[in-house]
Amino acid sequence: MPLIIKTQEINKYYNRYKADEVRALEDVTLTISQGEALVLNGASGSGKTTLLSLIGCMARPTSGSIFIQDKEVSRLPERFLTNIRRQTFGFIFQQLNLIRDISALENILLPLYPSGTSIKEMNWRAKEILTRLNILKKAHMKVSALSGGEQQRVAIARALINQPQIIIADEPTAHLDSFLAAELLQILTELNREGKTVVIATHDPFVSRHKLIDRVIRMRDGQIIGGLEP
Amino acid sequence: MTRFLKILEYALSSLARRKFKNFSIIAIYSFTIASLASILLLTHSLKEIAVNVLADGPDIVVQRLTGGRHDMIPASNAQAIEKLIGVGRVTPRIWGYYYDGLYQTNYTILGVHEKLPPLEMVKGRMVARDGECTVGQGVATTQNAEIGNELLLINSKGIGHTCEITGMFKAQSNLWTNDLILFSQDDLQRFFATPDGLATDIIVEVYNPKEIPVVAQKIKQLFPDTRPVTLNEILHTYQSVFNWRSGMMLTIFASSLIAFSILAWDKATGISGEEKQEIGILKAIGWDTSDILALKFSEGSVISVTSFLLGISLAYIHVFLLGAPLLVPVLKGWSVLFPRLQLVPYVDMYQIFTLGFLTIIPYMASTVLPSWKSAITDPESIMRGG
Amino acid sequence: MIRTRFFLSCIAFLLITLALLSLHSRYGKQAWIAQELTANRKLVANLALTDLALWTEARYTRHPALADFFAPFQDAPASFEHFPAGSIIAPRLPGVSTTLRVRKPPVGAPK
């Protein structure tokens, strides 16, 4: 399988050169192949989320390099980074981060607003995803009126509308009961089967032990302490 | 283009989410613009009317000053002025004010010398002999008089003076004649008990308009106690009567204050934690800084452009179609006789554009700038639970 | 896109209103110039009128063009403005165009 993500000795500092300097990541080197389903496991503060946001092009490392599909992205200006983020990644956040006062459909379409995608295409894609996630009937309801599980699916639908190759999820089961967590993993499994790479940061053993997961990487204090080899 | 339209659509959707707030802003904002624009339209129109009509006003009006106050001028001065080169007709005239205690109104009474040519703006007949008068609409309305009726005024000796109304000024000349009463010159002299040989002022006609200042200079040399008021000075008075130092402009400043308090309110409540969170979400799911700014820019322009267009239209309708009913009480002061304003729709585009510039730009700035800081931060923060 | 369409139609409606109003302004002006301007000018010329008959509350507001220089204070110097209209209109321009310069003839100059 070809590599899709490669990090090389990346470091991330917060508040550098100040009294409250934090070294969130220390010389992290990691490779992820296409189609892999991977878990970053560790206690909170171990650097999972930081690593996830660097991989997802949401922030830049203090030093080291990141390659996405063989393209060095760690030094790119924001505009290009946004572009890569938009085209390559779908994000599922710990907090669902939906905009509560607008409809499910609008939330799902949000990533496509600034793109050149035509309105017809947008609606077509949304319909397809909504059907697949079984929330088509709720499309025009406000997010705040949906149940937790439905909101979860709206968030997944929004992550998928860009047709991303990599799905990044940060503690996706933290606020879900075991039934919803199972449902989420089921959806992720299906996506993974279709060839999408899945990277999940979690300390939930239920996720780490799920049959979907190919590899678990353990982190502590900003360093990888195990699971580099499959 | 699609990108812009889609961002506009989302901007409208976010505005619709805070429907009450945004509709109130549009309402107050357009009201502010409407009041500013009403004042601008009204004063500009009055100015244009005055300056255009007064172009045919008297070339020079010679007044006499005594102790810094306007005083009666010897009518004999006219003969000396007449001899100046370039001077045409010189007419000493009598005019003055009359307070009607019954109706508590002030009239202006003007003496008419000889037979004037029939004027289009006069209904009926111009005053031709003693015992007759021509009155303005405002006078006729307060006195409830018509052509053919008798007008009773109390003269300076306390004796009633009646005259027959032979003519009335048409409503189209109201801006000039509303409070005007024309008497024959002799009648008026008796009415005011003006001593013989004195006049209120002297009207001087000058053949060549370019010579008006020279003639005025010569009159001043001839009679140092006089003050010649040239046509240019009269026009200047009306060009500057509504300038920025006048109370009208204070009203404008007051309204602008309202406008700015709206801006401040909107700004203070605009970029709430919720909105910051929203910007973070948008960035995280693939919006660029420029997309966020385009969104805020669209939100600002939707509000300000709508309010501006609405405000300008309302102001025009208010001033020119309805006769500025909301401004007249301000303009009127204590004047009892105030003409019904039939304003000519003179519009100064420069004023309108300036108004647009001064109201739209600050609003846009106050919507876009506060979100700037949120828009440029890394979307990473949203990963940390916002 | 239903909101965009609604918004753009609102803007279009307002623009059309403004266009109609500007036509109104244009024809209103033309009509006034054609019908009333000349007649009013003739009136002003024949009666030698100098001012708009707007404010009849005081001498200096009825005839701002002919008012004394210090009219607002003429009856009680340094009193506050009494008439509302006097605060609406601007004070007369400070400059007077016709002035006399008086020079003392040099001593011994021929008369």
Q: How near does any CA of chain B get to the CA of A53, in Å?
A: 6
The pLDDT of residue A16 is 87
Q: Would the pLDDT of B330 be above 80?
A: no
Unique residue bearing structure tokens 């004027």:
B119
Q: Do B289 and A110 touch (CB under 8 A)?
A: no
B245 reaches A (C-beta below 8 A): no
Calculate mean pLDDT across residues C31-47: 91
pLDDT tens-place string over residues B291-314: 999 999 999 899 999 999 999 999
Contact partners of A by the rule of 3+ C-beta pairs under 8 A?
Answer: B
Which chain A residues are within 8 Å of B13, Cβ to Cβ? Answer: 102, 106
pLDDT band at C84 (very low <50, low <70, confident <90, very high): low
How far does the CA of residue B359 sit from the closest CA of chain A (Å)?
Answer: 29
Yes or no: say if A157 and A135 are a contact pair by the CB < 8 Å rule: yes
Cβ-based contacts of B282 with chain A (< 8 Å)? 110
In the block, tokens 């405000």 appear at B311
Asked if the Cβ–Cβ distance from B56 to C89 is below 8 Å, we say no
Residue B285: its chain A contacts at CB < 8 A? 86, 91, 110-111, 158
Using a CB-CB cut-off of 8 Å, the residues of chain B touching A158 are 285
Q: Do residue B333 and residue C29 have CB atoms under 8 angstroms apart? A: no
| Annotated domain spans of chain B | 2-53+242-383, 58-240
- What is the rounded distance in angstroms from the CA atom of residue B138 to the CA atom of residue B351? 32
Q: With CB atoms and an 8 Å threshold, state whether B335 touches C87.
A: no
Of B91, B234, B313, the CB nearest to C17: B313
pLDDT confidence of residue B266: 65
For residue B172, the 8-state DSSP code is G
Which residue in chain B is spatially nearest to A118 when comparing CA positions? B2
Residue A148 to chain B, least CA–CA distance (Å): 17
Phi–psi pair at A92, nearest 5 degrees: -120, 120
Mean pLDDT of the region B346-364: 86
User: Region C77-104: what's the mean pLDDT?
Assistant: 64
**pLDDT at A23 > cutoff 70:** yes
Say yes or no to pLDDT of B263 above 70. Answer: no
Average pLDDT, chain A: 89
Q: Rounded to a whole number, what is the distance in Å from the CA of B106 to chain C's nearest CA?
A: 6
**A203 confidence band (pLDDT: 50, 70, 90):** confident
Q: Which of B91-100, B109-118, B339-348, C81-90 has the lowest mean pLDDT?
A: C81-90
* Residue A198 confidence (pLDDT): 94
Cβ A58–B383 below 8 Å, yes or no? yes
Please indicate whether, in this complex, the C-beta atoms of B121 and C22 are within 8 angstroms of each other: no
> Which residues in chain B are contacts of C22 at CB distance < 8 A?
347
User: Which of B4, B7, B219, B233 to substitute to test the interface with C, most C CBs within 10 Å?
Assistant: B233
Instruction: Name which of B2, B7, B383 is nearest A49 (Cβ-Cβ).
Output: B383
For residues B269 and A154, which has the higher predicted lDDT (pLDDT)? A154
Angle at B65 between CA B64 and CA B68, to 5 degrees: 170
- The answer to whether the Cβ–Cβ distance between A111 and B285 falls below 8 Å is yes
A111: contact with B, CB 8 A cutoff = yes
Q: Mutating which of B13, B380, B381, B384 best tests the A interface, going by the most A Cβ atoms within 10 A? A: B380
B289 part of contact set with chain A, CB < 8 Å: yes
Q: Which residue has the higher pLDDT, C70 or B140?
A: B140
- Give the pLDDT confidence of A113-130 residue by residue, as tens digits: 888 888 899 999 999 999
DSSP chain A: --EEEEEEEEEEEESTTSTT-EEEEEEEEEEEETT-EEEEE--TTSSHHHHHHHHTTSS--SEEEEEETTEE-TT--HHHHHHHHHHHEEEE-SS----TTSBHHHHHHGGGTTS---HHHHHHHHHHHHHHTT-GGGTTSBGGGS-HHHHHHHHHHHHHTT--SEEEEESTTTT--HHHHHHHHHHHHHHHHTT-EEEEEE--HHHHTSTT-SEEEEEETTEEEE----
Task: Looking at the complex, report in whole angstroms how far the Cα of residue C45 sits from the nearest Cα belonging to chain B.
Answer: 5
pLDDT for residue C91 = 60
Q: What is the average per-residue pLDDT within A144-155?
A: 90
Taking CB atoms and an 8 Å limit, are A95 and B285 in contact across chains?
A: no
Is A97 close to B287, i.e. CB distance below 8 A?
no
Instruction: From chain B, pick out residues whose CB is under 8 angstroms from the CB of A102.
Output: 13-14, 17
| pLDDT on residue C35 | 87
Average pLDDT of the residues in B144-163: 89
* C80: Cα separation from own chain's centroid: 23
CB B304 within 8 A of CB B29: yes
Mean pLDDT of B173-195: 91
Residue A43, pLDDT score:
87
- Put simply, the answer to whether B335 touches C40 (Cβ < 8 Å) is no
Q: What is the pLDDT of residue C77?
A: 46
Q: Do B237 and C22 touch (CB under 8 A)?
A: no
Query: Nearest-CA neighbor of A171 among A148, A147, A200?
Result: A200
Which DSSP symbol is given to B112?
E
Closest residue in A to B379 (Cα) is A58
- In the predicted structure, residue B90 carries a pLDDT above the cut 90: yes
Closest approach of chain B CAs to the CA of C64, in angstroms? Answer: 7
From the list C11, C56, C88, the residue facing B248 with the nearest CB is: C88
> What's the pLDDT score for residue B250?
62
| A102 at B interface, C-beta within 8 A | yes
Chain B hits for A162, CB-CB cut-off 8 Å, are 286
Hey, what amino acid is at B327?
A: L
pLDDT at C95: 57
Distance CA C93, CA C64 (A): 10
Instruction: Give per-residue pLDDT as tens, A31-86.
Output: 999 999 999 998 888 888 899 989 988 888 999 999 998 889 988 888 888 888 88
Confidence of residue B268 (pLDDT cuts 50, 70, 90): low
Which 8-state DSSP code applies to residue B187? Answer: H
B73 chain-C contacts, CB cut-off 8 A: none
Question: Looking at the predicted structure, is the pLDDT value of residue C76 above 50?
Answer: no
Could you say which residues from 34 to 93 on chain A have a Cβ atom under 8 Å away from some Cβ of chain B? 49, 52-53, 58-60, 78-79, 82-83, 85-86, 91, 93
SS3 B190: helix
Beta carbons of A97 and B382 less than 8 Å apart: yes
Q: Which residues from chain B sit within 8 angstroms of residue C91, using beta carbons?
A: 245
Q: Which residues pair with residue B36 across a beta bridge?
A: none
Separation of alpha carbons C97 and B233, rounded Å: 7
Element (H or E) spanning B69, and its range? strand B69-71
Predicted pLDDT at B383: 66
Instruction: Tell me if chain B has a CB within 8 Å of the CB of A171.
Output: no
* Residue pointed to by tokens 């999940």: A200
Can you tell me the ipTM of this complex? Answer: 0.87
The DSSP symbol for B108 reads E
Q: Give A-chain residues touching B284 at CB under 8 angstroms.
A: 58, 91, 93, 97
Mean of per-residue pLDDT scores for chain B: 86
How far from the centroid of its chain's Cα atoms is residue B373's Cα?
44
State the CB neighbour count (10 A cutoff) for residue B320. 24
Q: Among C39, C61, C91, whose Cβ lies nearest the Cβ of B121? A: C39
Query: What CATH number has the domain spanning A3-96+165-226?
Result: 3.40.50.300
CA distances from residue B341 to A184, B176, C51 in whole angstroms, order as listed = 73, 11, 15
CB contact under 8 Å between B10 and A115, yes or no, is no
User: A37 phi and psi, to 5 degrees?
Assistant: -120, 120
Contact indicator for B288, B279 with CB cutoff of 8 Å: no
More confident residue, C86 or B144: B144
